[in-house]
Structures are given as C-alpha cells and as structure tokens.
Structure 1
Amino acid sequence: MKANQKFLTDNERGDIGVGTLIIFIAMVLVAAVAATVLIYTTGALQQKATKTSKEATQQISSNIVVEQVLGDRGETSNQSINDLLIRLKPDVGTTSIDLRQVIVTIMDSTKRYDLNYSSEGYNSSNTTNTTNTTYTAIAVRDEDMSFSNTTPVLNSGDLIEIQVSANAIQGIVLAPRKTFWLSLNQELGQAVNLEIATPNSFGVNRYVRLYP
C-alpha cells in the first residue's frame, strides 16, 4: 500500500514537471515573437523618423528671398507695364533650388495665372519670345556656373532674374494704382507671397520699382 502511494506521488511530480516545462517553452516562444515584433516595429519607426527629419530639414532649409520686383514698360510712353522682372536668391543655408520646380503665380481680383519655367531664353526688349503660361530667367550672379537655360539651379550666393512677359499674364493690365499678388511656390519649403501695388504714376522712367 505504501509502495502504491509512493508511485502515485512520483507520477504526479512528473506530470507537474512536464506541465512546467510546457509553460516555460510557451513563455519562451511568446517572448521570441514579441521580441521580433518589437525589433521590426523599432526599425520601421527609425526609418520613418529618419525620413521625416530629412524632409523637415529640407522644408526649413529651402527658402527663396525676393530682393526686387521691377516693371519694364518697354517704352516710357506706355501707360502699363509690359514685363515683370523679379530678382531672387536662395536664403542663407538653403539647399539647391531648381527653377523647373518653381511655379510663379500672378493674380488680381479676377484673373490668376500659374507659370512654369521655360528654357527658351530671356529677352528684356522682346515680349513675344515667351509662350503663354511660362516665364524665363537669367543669372545675374553665378560664381560656380551652376545656372543655365537647361539646368536652372540656384545655389548659395546666386542671384537670378525672372522675366514674366505681358503675354503670360495678358488678362492682367498693370496700370497705375493696380494691386496684384505674386507667389513663388517651390518644391520644398514655404511659398513666397507678396502683395504689390503699382505707383500712382509711372513718370518718365522705363523701369518702375514695385518691390520693396
């Protein structure tokens, strides 16, 4: 009788040991799966954080500074402005800016025009060389020779002049006391928005200072 009791006790201990082993193995498997999920999630979050920080840096470090906006009347007898001449440069610390990705928007209370870059060339006296919905540009200062008609890229220290002809904004007549809005929308960074009012009189000068 005592032998049977001892056998039953040993058998119960064996069952408990096997059950404990199964639970232990299950815990190890669950921990391994959880560790794999955590490692994958951490890697994905790290990639997203790196991409987000890079995009945020580009957004902050991409900025266009408009130095001057002139109106070219062509002839001093004209009572309206033919061409808009916009001088701009990259801000301090700005990465390279490709004009092919910059949209120039000009609008008044009734008309709006979104203009894209054209590589056809710049002509300060002839406004018929620019097709509608486009603008052209030349380099005023370009020490590293990075800017050309085919690769209009602005680097630090460059000074570029954009020409918007009357053909591109033919629905907007830039006469005296005219208010219009100018926007430069780049691929990265904040858009530049200007509200410009033409002078009360153009006087006898061919070039009219509009901004600043």
Structure 2
Amino acid sequence: MKANNKMYLRKNTRAQVGIGTLIIFIAMVLVAAVAAAVLIQTSGILQQKAQATGKQSTQEVSSNLMIKNIEGVRAKNSASDIAGNISLLKLNVGLNVGSSPVDVNQVVISITDGTTTNNLIYANNAKTHTNAMADFSTSATASTNLEKLLTSNQSTPGANAKYFFTAEKIRDEDSSFTQEKPILNTGDLVTLYISTVASGDTGFANVGSLTTTGLKDSGLVVGPRSTVSLVLTPEAGAATIADFVTPSSYGIKENVQLYP
C-alpha cells in the first residue's frame, strides 16, 4: 500500500520593515546611481578622445604634399658664362586627392647635398627665427621676394638663402594663396623656390629672368653627380621625400630637369 505524499505550500506574509531596511534600500539606489553616472561620464570622455584621435589620424594620413617635378636653374652672366653648379631649385608642388588644406607658412623644407643640410622655413614665418626673411614684403610680387631670397641677409639668423624659401602660385582657383598667407588647397599648384647658390657662384648677375647683384652663399653645392635629398614636412600629415642625382654634366643648359 503506497503512502500518499502530499506537498503543501507555506504562506509567509512576513517582510522586512523598519528604518534599517529603508536605509539599506536608499544606499543601494545611491550606489547604483553613482555607478551609472561614472559609466556615463567615462563613456563620454572615451567617445571624445576617440573622435579627436580619429580626426588627427585622418589628418595625418590625408594631408600630403606632392612634388610634381623639380627644375634646377644655373646663374649666369651671359649665354657663354654660366655657373658650374645649380643656383636655384624650383619645386612644383600640389596636394594629393582628398588632402586637407596645408599652410605653407608652417612647412619646413630640409635639403642636403651630402655635406651641408639647410632647414628652411617660409619667408613670412617670423616665429622660428624671431624675424621673417630680410626685405620680405607681403605686398610685393613673388619675383621680388625671390630676388630678396637670393641677395639679402640680416644679423639674425643670417643670409636668407640658408634659412628661408619663397613661393609663387601657378594655379589657385579660390584665391587662397597669397604671399602673406600661403594656403594650399586641393587642386592648387605652386612653385617653391630654394636657393642653392654655391660660394664660388655669388658673382653672377642673372638667375633665370632675374637680374641680381650680390648673390648670397647658401652653403650648398649642387654640382654634376651630386646626390640631393629633400624632405617637406607640413604642420600635420606625412612628410614628402624626394631624392635625386644630378646629371654627370650640365653642358650649356641653363635650366636642368632634376626630378622625377
């Protein structure tokens, strides 16, 4: 004979009451609220940092200068009396597709001939050396400022040719590029001028279309078979590097294609 196993539910109507229970409940609510506030604040800070990092990373990748070509110009007195070394480099520079605008005033150009290295800033930059380029004028033409690059100097930092470069716009549809504020946008094309006058070539009177007197020594010597390295470093973005070896002989050429 089987025994009847019966299950009974016990009804318990007792609960925790009293001021102690209320305090514990309020404490739990406060702890949860504080934890939620900390999580929200932390997630907000992380989101802001992630956005800032993403913006900076995008700028570093997208802001790229692109050297289209480099031409060398030899100083001369006449068609038969030409300097044996390159006296002026003309860099045609633009931006890669999708690049952010570049302030040329903040670009640093490092150039070396294997022996001497010059770190050049834009002529209107008065921050690095306390002074802008000697005799530079924001209202002057690019050719006038180029002449001052080749012929002027000041006590600090010294000869313009060793510390500065100048620029001239070729294509600028939005008129963003001026001698005072040289802003380079996508689609713009400019020429950057770098003096490479050698110490033995300072007596020549003409560089390209310019008639000058008293060329200043740049400290560089860009003769035949010279290995030249250029690094263009913008304020933000990747640096642009161009290396080339000059021809074994310049012959009678006044203008020499050097890169690419």
Query: TM-score, normalising length from structure 1?
Result: 0.86
> What's the Cα RMSD here?
2.1
Q: Verify the 8 A CA contact 2:65 2:96 in the aligned structure 1.
A: yes
Name the aligned partner's letter for residue 164 of structure 2.
T
Displacement after TM superposition at 1:23 (Å):
2.4
Question: C-alpha separation between the residues in 2 aligned to 1:150 and 1:29?
Answer: 60
Other structure's SS at 1:56 match:
helix
1:10 corresponding residue in structure 2: none
Name the aligned partner's letter for residue 83 of structure 1.
L
2:177 corresponding residue in structure 1: 147
1:3 corresponding residue in structure 2: none
Question: C-alpha separation between the residues in 2 aligned to 1:197 and 1:169?
Answer: 21
Displacement after TM superposition at 1:169 (Å):
7.1
Change (3 A) 1:92 1:169: farther
Change (3 A) 1:194 1:142: same
Range with greater deviation from structure 2 (16-25 or 55-64): 16-25
Change (3 A) 1:148 1:172: same
Q: Verify the 8 A CA contact 2:95 2:186 in the aligned structure 1.
A: yes
Q: Verify the 8 A CA contact 2:196 2:222 in the aligned structure 1.
A: no
Matched length: 199
2:119 corresponding residue in structure 1: 114
Question: C-alpha separation between the residues in 1 aligned to 2:17 and 2:58?
Answer: 59
Structure holding more helix per residue: 1
- Note if 1:193 corresponds to 2:241: yes
Question: C-alpha separation between the residues in 2 aligned to 1:186 and 1:72?
Answer: 25
Change (3 A) 1:198 1:67: same
Task: Say which of 157, 172, 182 aligns to 2:187.
Answer: 157
Question: C-alpha separation between the residues in 2 aligned to 1:190 and 1:166?
Answer: 25
1:79 corresponding residue in structure 2: 84
Change (3 A) 1:187 1:161: same
2:28 corresponding residue in structure 1: 27
Name the aligned partner's letter for residue 56 of structure 2.
E
1:105 corresponding residue in structure 2: 110
Other structure's SS at 1:17 match:
coil
Other structure's SS at 1:201 match:
coil
Runs of 4+ in 1 over 4 A off after TM superposition: none
- Note if 1:90 corresponds to 2:98: no
Question: C-alpha separation between the residues in 2 aligned to 1:179 and 1:201?
Answer: 14
Question: C-alpha separation between the residues in 1 aligned to 2:229 and 2:63?
Answer: 22
Displacement after TM superposition at 1:22 (Å):
2.8
2:201 corresponding residue in structure 1: none
Q: Verify the 8 A CA contact 1:106 1:169 in the aligned structure 2.
A: no
Q: Verify the 8 A CA contact 1:113 1:169 in the aligned structure 2.
A: no
Displacement after TM superposition at 1:129 (Å):
4.7
Matches within 5 A, 1:4-23: 16-18=16-18, 19-23=20-24
Query: TM-score, normalising length from structure 2?
Result: 0.71
Displacement after TM superposition at 1:155 (Å):
1.2
1:69 corresponding residue in structure 2: 70
Name the aligned partner's letter for residue 123 of structure 1.
S
Give aligned-pair identity as a percent. Answer: 42
Other structure's SS at 1:25 match:
helix
Name the aligned partner's letter for residue 196 of structure 1.
F
2:231 corresponding residue in structure 1: 183
C-alpha distance after superposition, 1:7-57 (max 9, x if no partner): xxxxxx78x533433322221111111011111111111111111111122
Other structure's SS at 2:220 match:
coil
Question: C-alpha separation between the residues in 2 aligned to 1:63 and 1:41?
Answer: 35
